[in-house]
Structure 1
Amino acid sequence: MNSIIIDNNYLSQQTIIQYCKRLDNDINILGVFDSVECAEEYIKTTLVKIDIIFLEAIFPGKSGVDFIADLYIVPVPYIIMTTSFQNYAVKAFDLNVVDYLMKPLIYQRFVQAIQKVTKLMKLDEEVEANEKLTIKNKGSITRFLIKDIDYIESYSDYVKIHIKKHSYLHLIALKEITKKLPENKFIQIHRRFVINIEKVISINENKISLEGNQTTELPISRAQRKAFYDKFLRN
């Protein structure tokens, strides 16, 4: 995990550095800054993703709390406050800091804060994986929001992903792309079609109507009919 330290106290800086080193190199310190303004200049120019920011609350210039409020990085790093001032805790947690460590810093509390970050990072990665579909073709990478997909159509070794009035052709088998989708949201209704269950607006005998830029009708094959109805009714 990449981190930066924003603290104007040399002893605090060195304590954080030493604690990070004790964590078996799990945390890589990209930079140490004496002021919020210096850190902001670094953030504007760096191309390296910052995972964690260790942040003091009070500075002679711009405060750490104001820094959080103005932070524009996407995705936002996980912030651990390290300070001697208790009265900023409520405001800090309102701004979604992960933890609020009081100085002098205690190693066990520091470890607990890092464990919180690790858990949050895993949860965020799982959410992102479930929300987005990434397809890599030779020379290109395309990412879709899964909830936006209406249905996927097979063309032998290719699939066409239909999203509203747009469609995207990719070199991947229908079977393979289906493995990347959440099972509770998508189901195959025909050897050529996998649909987003949440897009279904009506079922008429052997046809399904899907919402989108315009209503789309797709066939349900005899082989897929029972599995479709079982899953659709469960949802």
Structure 2
Amino acid sequence: MNISCIVIDDEDFAVEHLQKFIMKVPYLILRGSFTNPTEAIKYLKETPVDLVFIDIEMPNYEIDGIDFIKIMSGEHLKFIVTTAYAKYALNGYELNVADFLHKPFSFDRFLQGVQRVQHSLKNEGKGFDSDYIFIKADGKLQSLRYEDICYIQSERNNISIYTENDRINTILSISEVESKLPPDQFSRVHKQYVIALNKVHTIEKDLIIIRRQSNFASIPLGESYRKSFTDLIDQRILNSKK
């Protein structure tokens, strides 16, 4: 079971520390990192994730970690609070967070919190154990394998799902469909597009070229999605050693 996550901390070194820990856990998929909690709120309104690692004290911004959790409490998110101040532990548990990590924390302690979230999500049926979903289109339910999806496009009041050989139209929001897709296989790259990572042919500055049979589709890379997409791709880059 994969768990998509983001990191929110106003200190760069703390963000980097969490990123290193996240990279050690194969089923954790880092969608993005933020030093500004307001930017994270904007991101989460468009891109659902499972878990948020968040600091409590962020004095340079209008809202802190507790404010953030209260604002986003209705979004079906799990929270792991990270802070250097043990006095906030009670606040964290009153907010029903999944875990409270007192800085500096070890990787073992970090993993314990992540496993707690994993267990909770499994109990809620959040796993992606199958390799397909059902899409309601033309008055019937249609089985659709993940591996057949090339990209998804939002068009007015519906979406189009482009497979290798077909185009399926359905009256759903792009966020609804995205939430049903495994986050290690698909990525939101624009407010109107979700792409299958295994269909990416090349990546240019503002365009992602997707393979679809013998043809190619050019998908725009939205500025607000660039960081999370780049982070996801960076996890898969093979760097040659010179």
State the shift of 1:42 in Å: 1.4
TM-score (norm 1): 0.51
Q: Number of residues paired by the alignment?
A: 131
Residue deviations 1:80-118 (CA, integer Å, cap 9, x gap): 001101111111111110000011121000000011001
TM-score (norm 2): 0.50
1:118 corresponds to which residue?
118
Give the conservation status (yes or no) of the 8 Å contact 1:3–1:54: yes
Output the CA distance in 2 between the equivalents of 1:70 and 1:141.
Answer: 38
State the shift of 1:31 in Å: 1.0
Q: 1:139 to 1:49 in 2, by over 3 A?
A: farther
Q: 1:91 to 1:72 in 2, by over 3 A?
A: closer
Q: 1:6 to 1:140 in 2, by over 3 A?
A: farther
State the shift of 1:120 in Å: 0.2
1:5 corresponds to which residue?
7
Output the CA distance in 1 between the equivalents of 2:73 and 2:11.
Answer: 25
What is the SS of the residue equivalent to 2:43? helix
Q: 1:37 to 1:137 in 2, by over 3 A?
A: closer
State the shift of 1:49 in Å: 2.3
Output the CA distance in 1 between the equivalents of 2:116 and 2:44.
Answer: 23
Output the CA distance in 1 between the equivalents of 2:55 and 2:140.
Answer: 39
Q: Which has the higher contact order (CA 8 A, sep 6+)?
A: 2
What is the SS of the residue equivalent to 1:3? strand
Q: 1:20 to 1:40 in 2, by over 3 A?
A: same
2:31 corresponds to which residue?
30
Residue deviations 1:37-57 (CA, integer Å, cap 9, x gap): 12112122x2x3210100000
1:21 corresponds to which residue?
23
2:89 corresponds to which residue?
89
Q: 1:136 to 1:96 in 2, by over 3 A?
A: same
Q: How does 1:175-190 map to 2 (within 5 A)?
A: none
Output the CA distance in 1 between the equivalents of 2:20 and 2:139.
Answer: 42
Q: How does 1:126-165 map to 2 (within 5 A)?
A: 139=138
Q: Which 5+ residue runs of structure 1 have no aligned equivalent?
A: 127-133, 143-235
The one-letter amino acid paired with 1:121 is: L
Give the conservation status (yes or no) of the 8 Å contact 1:15–1:105: no
What is the SS of the residue equivalent to 2:5? strand
Alignment RMSD (CA, Å): 2.3
Q: Find the structure with the greater CA-based Rg.
A: 1
Output the CA distance in 2 between the equivalents of 1:10 and 1:59.
Answer: 12
1:101 corresponds to which residue?
101
Q: Which 5+ residue runs of structure 2 have no aligned equivalent?
A: 127-132, 142-242
State the shift of 1:23 in Å: 1.0
State the shift of 1:141 in Å: 7.2
The one-letter amino acid paired with 1:15 is: H
The one-letter amino acid paired with 1:36 is: P
The one-letter amino acid paired with 2:38 is: E
The one-letter amino acid paired with 2:106 is: I
Output the CA distance in 1 between the equivalents of 2:140 and 2:72.
Answer: 28
